[in-house]
Amino acid sequence: MDQIKTAIENSKNVLLHCHPSPDPDSVGSTLAMKFALEQIGKKVTLIKGDSNIPRAFAFPGIDTIVKKNFFEIDLKEFDLFIILDSGSKDMISNKGEVIFPEHLNTLVIDHHFSNKGYGKVNFVDSSYSSCCELLYQVFKVLNIDITHDIALNLFMGMYTDTGGFRYGKNGDKTLKVASELASIAPDYQKTISIMENSNTKESLIFEALAMSSIKTFFDDKLVIASVKYDDILKNNIKDDDRFTGGIVNKIKSVVTTQIALTIVEVEPNNLKLSFRTRDENIFDVSKIAIALGGGGHKSAAGAKLNMSVDEAIDRVVNTAKEIYNL
């Protein structure tokens, strides 16, 4: 923690980013960090990264996010890059090779156990439910005043990364932090309601495409839903209409499902895979994600592949068979 404090104290101009296909933990943690750094006099730029921010995320400070990706900014303007909720370098951008200039200090704060540490300073602790919960502890050490806007952003990241506090290793600890944050930002229910009730026609079509594509393997233990790029184009489905979290969790809810997977072809032969498991002690999905070049948690993980959807399904099935002895 001393290294984090030193890195921040020695900085003047700080860069933050949201990871591709940002979830509330990514957006909430970066916005909370932005508010915290500004509180102690730092100049902060938060960029949206590769993807648009979902319109349903009505979080405090959302309008301050700069609509640029990593390769559209001048890194010479910054002395510190704080990388949150990003288990590997490719979670910074998929638009090219991410290279850090020598002058730029890099601080990685993350809760994905697959994160091996790729910054000059790394603070990775997978015992936390979310990056937002981890940041809460960091802010306490740094004596940051947990304002309403910081609290609400942290709460939203924790809420979604725990599935509405339905899962997570440290339930009592997580709920205590959530309770403290909720007491500071009692309007959290309104933000949740907006997030969970902002479907568009296109987002419903996206879900329908995924559900109608379902394929099952190994006596329905592995269930895969996919959406191809041509269908995304044909139905004019934008970035923020493609939220896969609800889809993969819905698949996981089927009683026979042990591993749920969504595959989205975001560009031709550029695939995003999202895994979930019903029982992480039996089917640790981080293993298959890592085998496919990705990473994540035992209960939720992801990967990216450059191939067709059909080729990816074959590869996933063969990999699952080998890893889980199916």
Q: Are residues 74 and 136 in the same domain?
A: yes
Q: Are residues 70 and 217 in the same domain?
A: no
pTM assigned to the model? 0.88
Helix (H) or strand (E) holding 289: helix 285-291
Q: Are residues 182 and 314 in the same domain?
A: no
Q: What is the pLDDT of residue 181?
A: 98
* Structural domains of the chain, count: 2
Q: Are residues 21 and 119 in the same domain?
A: yes
Q: Are residues 172 and 246 in the same domain?
A: no
Q: What is the pLDDT of residue 113?
A: 83
Alpha-carbon distance values, 140 to 74, 76, 151 (Å): 32, 30, 12
State pLDDT tens for residues 146-188: 999 999 999 999 999 988 988 766 678 999 999 999 999 999 9
Q: Are residues 252 and 188 in the same domain?
A: no
Last-in-domain residue among 136, 169, 196: 196
Q: Are residues 143 and 171 in the same domain?
A: yes
Q: Are residues 176 and 216 in the same domain?
A: no
Q: Are residues 192 and 207 in the same domain?
A: no
Q: In the predicted model, is pLDDT for residue 76 greater than 80?
A: yes
State pLDDT tens for residues 189-244: 999 999 989 888 999 999 999 999 999 999 999 999 999 999 999 999 987 777 77
Q: Are residues 211 and 177 in the same domain?
A: no
C-beta atoms surrounding 64 within 10 Å: 13
Last-in-domain residue among 196, 226, 258: 196
Domain that holds residue 314: 201-324
The CA R_g of the chain, rounded to the nearest whole Å, is: 19
- Which CATH number does the domain housing residue 264 bear? 3.10.310.30
Q: Are residues 174 and 285 in the same domain?
A: no
| CA–CA dist 309, 232 (Å, integer) | 13
Residues 6 or more apart whose CB falls under 8 angstroms from that of 6 comprise: none
Beta bridge partners of 305: 271
Among 227, 243, 224, smallest CA distance to 235 is for 227
Q: Are residues 187 and 222 in the same domain?
A: no
Helix (H) or strand (E) holding 184: helix 171-184
Average of per-residue pLDDT across 288-303 = 91
User: pLDDT exceeding 70 applies to what percent of the chain?
Assistant: 99
Last-in-domain residue among 178, 196, 214: 196
